[in-house]
Structure 1
Amino acid sequence: MTQTASTGTAGPQTAGRVQQGVGESAGRPDATLKVTGEFAYSSDLWLEGMVWGVTLRSPHASAWIRSIDIGPALAIQGVLAVLTHEDVPGEKFYGLEHKDQPVLAIDQVRYQGEPVALVAAEHPETARRAAAAIVVDYEVREAVTDPRLATEFVRRQPVRVGDTFEAEVVVTGEYEVGMQDQAFLGPESGLAVPAEDGGVDLYIATQWLHVDRDQLAPCLGLPPEKVRLSLAGVGGAFGAREDLSMQVHACMLALRLDRPVKIVYGREESFFGHVHRHPAWMRYEHGATREGELVYVKAEILLDGGAYCSSSPAVVGNAASLGVGPYEVPNVDIVATGVYTNNPPCGAMRGFGAVQACYAYESQMDRLAAACGLSPVEIRIRNAVSQGSALATGQIIDSPAPLADMLRELAAMPMPPAATSDLLDLPGGVSQTTHGEGVRRGVGYGVGIKNICFSEGFDDYSTARVRAELIGGEPHVTVHTAAAEVGQGLVTIQAQIARTELGIERVTVATADTQVGSAGSSSASRQSYVTGGAVKAACEAVRARFDGLPPALALEKFGPIEETREYRHRPTYPMDPVTGQADSHTQLALCVHRAVVDVDVELGLVKVVELAAVQDVGKILNPLALEGQIHGGSAQGLGLALMEEIQVREGKVLNPSFTDYLIPTILDMPPMRLSILENPDPAAPYGLRGAGEPPTLSSTPAIVAAVRDATGVALTRVPVRPEHLVG
């Protein structure tokens, strides 16, 4: 059930009303193909004469490499090449923020799954057999797997304001978040094709084309213009495709053999081939008056970055700057730290550091409510931020933030009906583990605040090229950006903006590639903001050249019209390394959740009965797609709350499969009741507010709070497992 509240959003200034424009549930051009199974994902790529690449990976979390014998692999019929670090044609290291990750391991391996050698063969099975035949002499060494014992920092970021750290009511808690996987359904894959100019064309499922290229080119020993990337069909991302995986390996093999090379990871290899959500250990102390008004928050946040840097510094910054949540707190002392270990590398995942902190600070707000004799909703209302409030970093919230009203609306929503004796309605379902005798119902609330767009001084922009012309006598628009469609509906949004701004219904969104300026990453809920802003700006420039004429007449008179525009949002600044003070974020978004659960307290089984959410999105561009984003973000939060965790023991991953790594299915997701608010941000295109990530923050603590309410168990770690409930 969905209801939408509009609060003052002005309609866009357009060239004329058209169908499927901004504000409508425009259909996705890829919808039918995906439903029927005909959509071409990157793993479906095929080219005459292509061969297959396979990666040999380390079985150890930490070891010296004494020697590599590739002879047995080369002796296998059908094997065309075996490459090691000695065959890297250019720089041997790459990385998002620091170039610390080797293309192929040189003298040591730092995590289980680190790439050591590459094989190319005529058949994928031959390539796999050959990779297994390579003999690597490892000298295993002790691995650093407990981040609490790690001594090498990725980043240490304090946030400090005020000097009063005494209060009438004090609650403390220690919390832990497990390592979550992005669990996209399309494993890493791509096709590298050598070009006549000595360069390479790469067709790849990724989240940002230009940053991939800028890491690839130095490693391949090529200038950037000779490394051309085109976006292939992406089967989900959620942050895991921000880092390189098989890109450089496929290109190396293609250039060596002068033949197209395809690499497709299986599900198990995918678990080793991308970064994960940082596990976290957090200690919080909240002080308040007896009336429940916050006086101070102290926190220590420890994030396990794993073997390499990836985007860990930015994740640490997010956890620190948003570490007290959307609450007014005059005194803050937070230290967020990311460390290196020999565990799998961690980096971007939906929520990006704010998820871990949210679970801790929301758990604390529930403890504080109990200590003050207040309801979970009331304690949050009394401390809620609003427009004009200052974050712990000193940044002023300069756009609508009606958190208190959102909480009141959420609390007033009808509750779902009481559980019945129908097995389908009970925890455990038709397995008949219970008939309801041990089932208890609980209700919990969660609030999250998430930054939108890149932060801390990152040069965050996007580029769009828009061309209007007559085709078959009818006006037609082509929109070309490098923005990655990773399943979120960005292609649809770009077309909607073009229709709205130009009054032309026939719109084609060209394949994203590096032949147009950068669009940055499809992450940080930023693409509707920055790429939408770029498309809007380019369309406005095209429309200005219509000289006031209707599109058809203008194009007949002037011929094709093409304009390219960059769009940048307002500047952000790095956090002060001592105090953390800075206007570090572009935009902030709020979502609040209420969860209703039934728990079998004897068996430790949980059924989420309903999730209700209120979210402010500034402006709804596509209602149906937006609802899907809120549902999807809530599902990932549910997964973190109750089932999703990569099990790592002594640096070894124990469950690299969807048999053992559990993700929510349609049977686990409850009905959702949504209220979507439109309080426009005057600084953003159309007043929009990024919407994809905030539901992931608040759904997790809401669900866990509901389980606590049903069981009376403290529950300081996620995911919650049955043994946590029945002790």
Structure 2
Amino acid sequence: MSQAADRLALGRIGESVRREDATPKVTGEFAYGSDLSAPGMLWGRTLRSPHAHARIVAVDVAAAVALPGVHAVLLHGDVPGAKAYGLEFPDQPVLAGDRVRYYGEPVAIVAADGPERARRAVAAIRVEYELLEPVVDPARATEQPPLHPDRPTMRHGYREDPRPNVIRHLVIRHGDPDVVGDVSVTGVYELAGQDQAFLGPESGLAVPDGEGGVDVYVATQWLHVDRAQVAPCLGLEPEQVRIHLAGVGGAFGGREDLSMQIHAAMLALYTGRPVRMVYDREESFVGHVHRHPARLEYEHRATREGKLVCVRARIVLDGGAYASSSTAVIANSTAFAVGPYRVDNALLDGTVVYTNNPPSGAMRGFGAPQVCFAAEAQMDRLAAALGIDPVELRLLNALAPGDRLPTGQLLTGSLPTAEVIRRAAALPVPAPEPLPRDPLRLPGGAGNTTHGDGIRRGVGFAVGFKNICFSEGFDDSCAARVVLRADGRAEIHCAAADVGQGSASVILQVARTELGTDDVVLAPATTASVGSAGSTSASRMTWMAAGAVRDACREALAERERTGGADVDVEHVFRHPQTLPLDPETGQVTGARAHVALAVAAMRVVVEVDVDLGLARVVWVGVAQDVGKAINPRSVEGQIEGGIAQGLGHALMEELVVRDGRILNASFTDYLIPTALDMPPVTIDLVEEPEPDAPYGVKGVGEPPTVVSTAAVTSALRDATGLLLARVPVRPEDVALGSR
């Protein structure tokens, strides 16, 4: 397989650049991972468990092997190398061996001449299961038999917790958690699981190289960590496995974990032929991790003037069957549980547990949306109890450089919380639209279920923040390679996965700025030509890739000066300032910082609610966001709008309905996501206060709007209805029945 280098539209730092992939994506010409093919290609398919928890008694593949056109049927024992893998902890079997731990867990894989023959082969495999009691209630998980008796996440510097099924337990003690305020408000909040709902399902192509190695073309977020997991399971050296980025149809965290990579590579090496795997939508729903469902108990204590005195929170996240990135997600949830506010005393207790529910992992916001929803509801309740304007209460407590987080970290970078709040609050709210009006601009929309009678209008406000880049001592780095030709041409190599967020544009804008030329091309992202760029997650890629490309360009120019204008080939590895772990007993920093930097966003939302029918419409969203420096303002605004859409979806419609470990709505017919008709006008105010430690002062922008928008939309719903609405998504019956 070969891929041509992409030349993007001209543009340098600070300019709005039109992305070259925009036109082919909307015209259907863009090549996604599911579009790949190769001569002699076979089709791969996966047999998945129909049970959430069961022992595998026997597997009979004879009928499948005997079918015409079937070239391979592989089981757990056929995995040539390590039998398990994992994003952070190798606790997940490549193919289930003695038992299955979630509905949809892979049990067998097949390769056949076409997709229908592969489907028939999977259907012909007979598996005898002995059903086991599933662990499905996170609140009871620590009292039930362990799903992983070997406790794979223990002894990694975390707090030791002897209870069964604990993935990680983190306690942050700050000041005196027993201090008493003049006013106290409490609340219990719940968030359902949310799917990343990317439009392009998991897909890819594995091609054997004829020398024992394999090339895997896949839609992913982290090429080199894919290789680090794939190669050991194949029993190969890393250089024998080359991961190439295929066209990605959205990611949002759901492609950080492996999907078909090992399976397709196993089949390709076994058969000696290319193997293509493409999940259908139902398989996609069970084939990747989701946002962690959460239950949160809060108490806020404050003075009569509104100054926060103490925050206490207990957070329980459902990690599902395997660890994935749950240890980092619970760290984020616990560390950011207070929100972007000063507080001298706190007790924040966070636990994430194993269950037999669908695996949870990375999703846009990475644990911060859950606590933002609860903490901002608490701030609204506190404002009501004190008779203080909600915006003024937030300004009174706004976190700023020089303050300390509950972890004890001193804030030294850019964090313009008060400025962001003021600018969001100053955005003009649109006037109510008179009736009658087009049903599309009423709650219920095209359903034409209301004509405006009994509609109430509400205005909500929320603030949230999140870390930028990886934290807690992770050795975060990004490599970039610059090739300068004697004739003036430049070629950039970086394994950054552009999953739709526009990192390819950023890389070339940086290169053109540093090299002073427009004759720059970006080579395809692959493990074969450059070192790791890290993951396209944690709002880190703009910071890390910009730093790596900037420094590589500068080194290449210096090298060309020394060599007198000959061809130059330079690779540079960029690292951000070092972070350190939290103390496992106190949750306090063990050095200067646990987080590299933080970004804050504030959002004002207008909704209309038909309280009789329980239908809601988001009328307008205004957002001010701390972006450091906008390298491509148009792309930044697009990321903010996309983040708002996902948070709006979680507030009003997106919910994984899980019963006894099984997802009951694994399709876009039953799992609802916002469409263009659901998206309101959005007013965006970019707050550019450069981050001193970041290249060009940049900050990631994709996650903060999702962190805040669920809380802001629900705040507006509360204002319209007068209801507590302590769970999202808010269902129509929550409003209609509660308003009676």
Q: Which amino acid aligns with 1:500?
A: T
The equivalent residue for 1:48 is 39
Q: Confirm or deny that 1:522 pairs with 2:531.
A: no
- Mapping for residues 531-680 of structure 1, pairs under 5 Å: 531-547=545-561, 558-582=565-589, 583-680=593-690
RMSD: 1.2
SS in structure 1 of the partner of residue 373 of structure 2: helix
The Cα offsets for residues 465-517 of structure 1, whole Å up to 9 and x where unpaired, read as 011215xx5x2211101111101001111000000001110211110111210
Q: Which amino acid aligns with 2:725?
A: L
The Cα offsets for residues 364-421 of structure 1, whole Å up to 9 and x where unpaired, read as 0000000110111011011000111111111122123221222122222211120322
Q: Confirm or deny that 1:243 pairs with 2:282.
A: no
The equivalent residue for 1:266 is 280
1:159 to 164, 167, 172: 172
The question of whether the paired residues in 2 share the 8 Å contact of 1:493 and 1:532 is answered with yes
The question of whether the paired residues in 2 share the 8 Å contact of 1:78 and 1:122 is answered with yes
SS in structure 2 of the partner of residue 148 of structure 1: coil
The equivalent residue for 1:200 is 214
The question of whether the paired residues in 2 share the 8 Å contact of 1:279 and 1:303 is answered with yes
- Mapping for residues 292-331 of structure 1, pairs under 5 Å: 292-331=306-345
Q: Confirm or deny that 1:121 pairs with 2:117.
A: no
SS in structure 1 of the partner of residue 139 of structure 2: helix
Q: Confirm or deny that 1:512 pairs with 2:528.
A: no
The equivalent residue for 1:717 is 727
1:687 to 693, 697, 719: 697
* Counterpart Cα distance in 2 of 1:401 and 1:30: 33
The equivalent residue for 1:257 is 271
SS in structure 1 of the partner of residue 490 of structure 2: strand
The equivalent residue for 1:9 is none
The equivalent residue for 1:82 is 73
Percent identity over the alignment?
A: 59
Give unpaired runs (5+ residues) of structure 1. Answer: 1-17, 549-553
* Counterpart Cα distance in 2 of 1:45 and 1:400: 44
* Counterpart Cα distance in 1 of 2:78 and 2:419: 61
Instruction: For residue 86 of structure 1, report the CA deviation from its aligned partner.
Output: 1.0
Q: Which amino acid aligns with 1:576?
A: D
* Counterpart Cα distance in 2 of 1:627 and 1:100: 39
- Mapping for residues 207-222 of structure 1, pairs under 5 Å: 207-222=221-236
Give me the TM-score of the superposition, normalised by structure 1: 0.95
The equivalent residue for 2:160 is none
* Counterpart Cα distance in 2 of 1:525 and 1:647: 28
* Counterpart Cα distance in 2 of 1:223 and 1:405: 52
Q: Which amino acid aligns with 1:573?
A: L
Greater shift after overlay, 281-290 or 410-419? 410-419
The equivalent residue for 2:492 is 479
Instruction: For residue 166 of structure 1, report the CA deviation from its aligned partner.
Output: 1.1
Q: Confirm or deny that 1:130 pairs with 2:121.
A: yes
Q: Confirm or deny that 1:452 pairs with 2:468.
A: yes
Q: Which amino acid aligns with 1:663?
A: I
- Mapping for residues 147-186 of structure 1, pairs under 5 Å: 147-151=138-142, 152-163=165-176, 164-186=178-200
SS in structure 1 of the partner of residue 684 of structure 2: strand
Instruction: For residue 546 of structure 1, report the CA deviation from its aligned partner.
Output: 4.6
SS in structure 1 of the partner of residue 536 of structure 2: coil
Q: Which amino acid aligns with 2:113?
A: E
The equivalent residue for 1:432 is 448
* Counterpart Cα distance in 2 of 1:431 and 1:638: 19
Q: Which runs of 4+ in 1 moved over 3 A?
A: 545-548
Instruction: For residue 113 of structure 1, report the CA deviation from its aligned partner.
Output: 0.2
The equivalent residue for 1:95 is 86
* Counterpart Cα distance in 2 of 1:39 and 1:52: 22
Q: Which amino acid aligns with 2:468?
A: I
The equivalent residue for 1:10 is none
* Counterpart Cα distance in 1 of 2:103 and 2:206: 26
SS in structure 2 of the partner of residue 54 of structure 1: strand
The equivalent residue for 2:378 is 364
The equivalent residue for 1:21 is 12
The equivalent residue for 1:8 is none
Distance 1:19 1:168, change over 3 A: same
The Cα offsets for residues 65-93 of structure 1, whole Å up to 9 and x where unpaired, read as 10000011112111111110010001101
The question of whether the paired residues in 2 share the 8 Å contact of 1:444 and 1:702 is answered with yes
* Counterpart Cα distance in 1 of 2:103 and 2:560: 59
* Counterpart Cα distance in 2 of 1:668 and 1:424: 9
The question of whether the paired residues in 2 share the 8 Å contact of 1:49 and 1:260 is answered with yes
The equivalent residue for 2:478 is 462
* Counterpart Cα distance in 2 of 1:683 and 1:430: 49
SS in structure 2 of the partner of residue 323 of structure 1: coil
Instruction: For residue 119 of structure 1, report the CA deviation from its aligned partner.
Output: 0.9
The equivalent residue for 1:409 is 423
The equivalent residue for 1:109 is 100
Instruction: For residue 29 of structure 1, report the CA deviation from its aligned partner.
Output: 2.2
Q: Confirm or deny that 1:277 pairs with 2:291.
A: yes
SS in structure 1 of the partner of residue 719 of structure 2: helix
The question of whether the paired residues in 1 share the 8 Å contact of 2:560 and 2:566 is answered with no
* Counterpart Cα distance in 2 of 1:126 and 1:562: 48
Instruction: For residue 210 of structure 1, report the CA deviation from its aligned partner.
Output: 0.7
* Counterpart Cα distance in 2 of 1:559 and 1:402: 46
* Counterpart Cα distance in 1 of 2:619 and 2:95: 48
* Counterpart Cα distance in 2 of 1:133 and 1:381: 64
Q: Which amino acid aligns with 2:648?
A: L
* Counterpart Cα distance in 2 of 1:245 and 1:451: 27
* Counterpart Cα distance in 1 of 2:511 and 2:419: 35
The question of whether the paired residues in 1 share the 8 Å contact of 2:560 and 2:567 is answered with no
The question of whether the paired residues in 1 share the 8 Å contact of 2:91 and 2:322 is answered with yes
The question of whether the paired residues in 2 share the 8 Å contact of 1:286 and 1:294 is answered with yes
* Counterpart Cα distance in 2 of 1:307 and 1:586: 30
Give me the TM-score of the superposition, normalised by structure 2: 0.93
SS in structure 2 of the partner of residue 533 of structure 1: helix
* Counterpart Cα distance in 2 of 1:137 and 1:546: 66
SS in structure 1 of the partner of residue 489 of structure 2: strand
Instruction: For residue 227 of structure 1, report the CA deviation from its aligned partner.
Output: 0.7
The Cα offsets for residues 110-155 of structure 1, whole Å up to 9 and x where unpaired, read as 0000000011100111101110111000111110100000011000
Instruction: For residue 677 of structure 1, report the CA deviation from its aligned partner.
Output: 1.1
The equivalent residue for 1:342 is 356
SS in structure 1 of the partner of residue 418 of structure 2: helix
Q: Which amino acid aligns with 2:211?
A: D
SS in structure 2 of the partner of residue 120 of structure 1: strand
The question of whether the paired residues in 2 share the 8 Å contact of 1:419 and 1:426 is answered with no
The question of whether the paired residues in 1 share the 8 Å contact of 2:61 and 2:126 is answered with yes
Q: Which amino acid aligns with 2:549?
A: V
Q: Confirm or deny that 1:707 pairs with 2:717.
A: yes
The Cα offsets for residues 408-449 of structure 1, whole Å up to 9 and x where unpaired, read as 222222111203220232111243211111100000011111
Give unpaired runs (5+ residues) of structure 2. Answer: 1-8, 143-164
